[in-house]
Amino acid sequence: MFLRPDKAEKLAFATLKICMASVIIFVSVLLIHIIVNGYSVLSIEFITQMPMKRMTEGGIYPAIVGTVSLIGLSMALAVPLGILSAIYLNEYSSPGRASWAIEMAINNLAGTPSVVFGLFGLALFVKYFGFGPSILSASLTLALLILPVIIRASKEALMTVPQEYREASLALGITKWQTTRKVILPAAIPGIMTGIVLSIGRVAGETAPILLTGAAYFLPRIPDSVFSQFMALPYHLFVLATSGTSISQTRPLQYGTALVLLFIVFMMNGIAVVIRNHYRKKLSR
Amino acid sequence: MSRRNNKEKAIEVALLMTSGVTIVALFLLCIFLFREGALLFGDHSLVSFITGTSWYPSSSPAKFGLLPLLAGSLIVTAGAIILSVPLGIAAAIYMAELADPRIAQILKPFVEILAGIPSVVYGFFGLIVVVPLLQDLLSLPTGQTALAGSIMLGMMALPTIISVAEDAINSVPLSLKEGSLALGSTHWQTIYRVILPAALSGISAAVMLGIGRAIGETMTVMMVTGNTAIIPGIPEGLFDPVRTMTATIALEMGEVPQGSEHFHALFAVGAVLFITTFIINLIADSVKKKYRLQEEA
């Protein structure tokens, strides 16, 4: 049977609304569940103490230190590489074989599963270069994983810089590199920052690559060099939630760890939104 | 002047070399992945790897048959796509066509949040909430099933599908929509007879990217699918535990000695995974190019 067009429209739109609502409800339930259960666990001790009694009590301090070191080191590697690559692609390269190959490589790396990056890091950094399972191996692996993300975001930001900026600067007899450094890059910085901040969230949450390149089940101390193994928040959550004999006993610790992890990721998302809005306001003035 | 030009030239070459790092990285990734994987095939034949129906890495002789893992990945991904594609496209239509612009402005960051949640947190939520729920609702012996994986992966693929599909819908020329409305069609008729067909290739790209995201996901599936390496039946296998390619690598790599047969077998699985996502991305890319060409025409 056929519905009258106006009835069909009502039915269809109602279905669309239900679909949208169910997406929202699912995400809200997930977030609220973790926030409500994790909130009571959070305390200064939880984030500043070592795990105790075979990880059934105590805090997550070493995991936080590990995750922060991973973020610092992988960003120090990927950010300069990413921005310079984006500058080449957007400001210097002309369509041709070289830029086609670079774009293709970026797209492929971006689509490669993170666990495959883990295998790659294991074979190249841990085994071949002999860095062993360590902060260094894991950070190098994560740096390669987010390189495409940073290049894409930076390139996008450079593309929004008006062409007049380049022409005006070049017309004054300023060289291309100076133009890029002094005129174009400053104008693109907010967009680039947004991309960087979002990839920090990504690095904080990645588990599979560090699982293969050096994350430790449990370490009773803080890593003392980049060649040490380390604990990290996402892997710590995985370990607590899936292995050992006291899974239900450590449930509060699991919620707490998940909440700290979510907090880091959302803080980064929030910063990205603030940068974006600030920049938009400036533009519309 | 010429010195200045030399300096500029040098900078350009340096920049070219920097961006070449991505090519070198991809090249090394292929070499190391395939080299380590190929070492399995001294004692085991490639055919027995690809067509083998059992994955018993610690029996003697060890059996490294890919099929149970491949089937596990496929059934979980298929389930995820069946759930997330209609939901994602519906949400995209809602955001692009129906929602008040102000509400759409709130929904967009919401979808971004969904994309930002780490996979291990999805896995944790799945393990604690979704798995027991499925076990009770369907009275299964265990809730750790392919279905649990599909539900969680479906949610994780949503942001990719929603944002790409929304872009595709928004890029349909306004004149098409106005033409249809002027002929007296309702808004819904316009959406499904005019806008959706025009956005179809963009939406297919969204679906392909969603599949790529789902098949490569590791932590979530590892935590909720039970990880039993048996070939699942279709469709009743949805209600059984399965083990995917990604979960196998992440679960077993910690226990194997470096350089052993098993070690190389896991790299071989990784190589299959890499080739699979490579092909999926290639298809998504060509579909996307096609719709860009259509737009320009």
The confidence score (pLDDT) of residue B287 equals 82
Quickly state the pLDDT bin for A98 (edges 50, 70, 90).
confident
What's the token pair of residue A102?
């670079």
Instruction: Search chain B and give the residue with CA nearest A260.
Output: B121
Ordered per-residue pLDDT tens for chain B, 297 residues? 577 788 888 999 999 999 999 999 999 999 999 999 998 888 788 888 888 888 888 887 888 989 999 999 999 999 999 999 999 999 999 999 998 888 888 888 788 888 889 999 999 999 999 999 999 998 888 888 999 999 999 999 999 899 889 989 998 999 999 999 999 889 999 998 999 999 988 899 889 989 988 999 999 999 998 888 778 777 777 888 899 999 999 999 988 888 888 999 999 999 999 999 999 988 888 887 776 666 554
What's the token pair of residue A157?
């930001």
Query: Coil, strand, or helix at residue A57?
Result: strand
CA atoms of B96 and A235, how far apart (whole Å):
38
Q: Which residues from chain B sit within 8 angstroms of residue A117, using beta carbons?
A: 29
CA distance B296 to chain A (A): 19
Q: Which residues from chain B sit within 8 angstroms of residue A107, using beta carbons?
A: 281, 285
Interface of B with A in 150-169 (CB under 8 A): 155, 158, 162
Find, among B111, B132, B244, B128, the residue nearest to A257 by Cα.
B128
**Is the model's pLDDT at A283 over the cut of 70?**
no
Q: Average pLDDT, whole number, for chain A?
A: 88
DSSP string for A137-164: HHHHHHHHHHHHHHHHHHHHHHHTS-HH
What's the token pair of residue A22?
């169910």
- Residue A52's H or E segment, with its range, is strand A51-52
- Choose from A20, A158, A255 for mutation: most chain B CBs within 10 A: A20
- What is the pTM (predicted TM-score) of this model? 0.91
Query: Coil, strand, or helix at residue B226?
Result: strand
CA atoms of A129 and A141, how far apart (whole Å):
13
CA atoms of B92 and B70, how far apart (whole Å):
31
**A19 with B109: Cβ contact below 8 A:** no
Find, among B267, B155, B26, B266, the residue nearest to A110 by Cα.
B26
CA atoms of A210 and B191, how far apart (whole Å):
45
The confidence score (pLDDT) of residue A255 equals 94
Q: Dihedral through CA A261, CA A266, CA A271, CA A273, nearest 10?
A: 160
DSSP string for B142-190: -S-SHHHHHHHHHHHHHHHHHHHHHHHHHTS-HHHHHHHHHTT--HHHH
| Residue contacts between A and B (CB atoms, under 8 Å) | 243
The confidence score (pLDDT) of residue A194 equals 86
**A15 with B23: Cβ contact below 8 A:** no
- In this structure, the strands spanning A51-52 and B63-64 are unpaired
Q: Which residues from chain B sit within 8 angstroms of residue A273, using beta carbons?
A: 109
For residue B223, give the nearest of A84, A108, A242 by CB distance: A242
**Is the Cβ of B120 closer than 8 Å to some Cβ of chain A?**
yes
The confidence score (pLDDT) of residue A95 equals 82
**B16 with A13: Cβ contact below 8 A:** no
Lowest-confidence range among A38-52, A199-213, B7-21?
A38-52
The confidence score (pLDDT) of residue B28 equals 96
Burial of A56 (0-12, 13-18, 19+ CB in 10 A): middle
- Please, what is the end-to-end C-alpha distance for chain A in angstroms? 56
**A107 with B285: Cβ contact below 8 A:** yes
Q: Dihedral through CA A112, CA A116, CA A120, CA A122, nearest 10?
A: 150
Which ipTM value was assigned to this complex? 0.91
Q: Which residues from chain B sit within 8 angstroms of residue A85, using beta carbons?
A: 15, 18-19, 21-22
Interface of B with A in 41-70 (CB under 8 A): none
Q: Which residues from chain B sit within 8 angstroms of residue A248, using beta carbons?
A: none
CA atoms of A229 and B244, how far apart (whole Å):
27
CA atoms of B72 and B230, how far apart (whole Å):
8
- Choose from B19, B152, B183, B227 for mutation: most chain A CBs within 10 A: B19
Question: Which residues, 6 or more positions from B233, have their beta carbon under 8 angstroms from its beta carbon?
Answer: B240
What's the token pair of residue A198?
């979002």
The confidence score (pLDDT) of residue B291 equals 66
Query: Strand ranges (DSSP E) for chain B?
Result: 55-56, 63-64
DSSP string for B48-86: HHHH---EETTSSS-EE-SHHHHHHHHHHHHHHHHHHHH
Q: Rounded mean pLDDT of A129-155?
A: 94
Q: Which residues from chain B sit within 8 angstroms of residue A237, using beta carbons?
A: 120-121, 124
CA distance B295 to chain A (A): 21
- Whole-angstrom CA distances from B190 to A262, B46, B94, B117 are 41, 52, 14, 35
CA atoms of B230 and B38, how far apart (whole Å):
24
**Is the model's pLDDT at A273 over the cut of 90?**
no
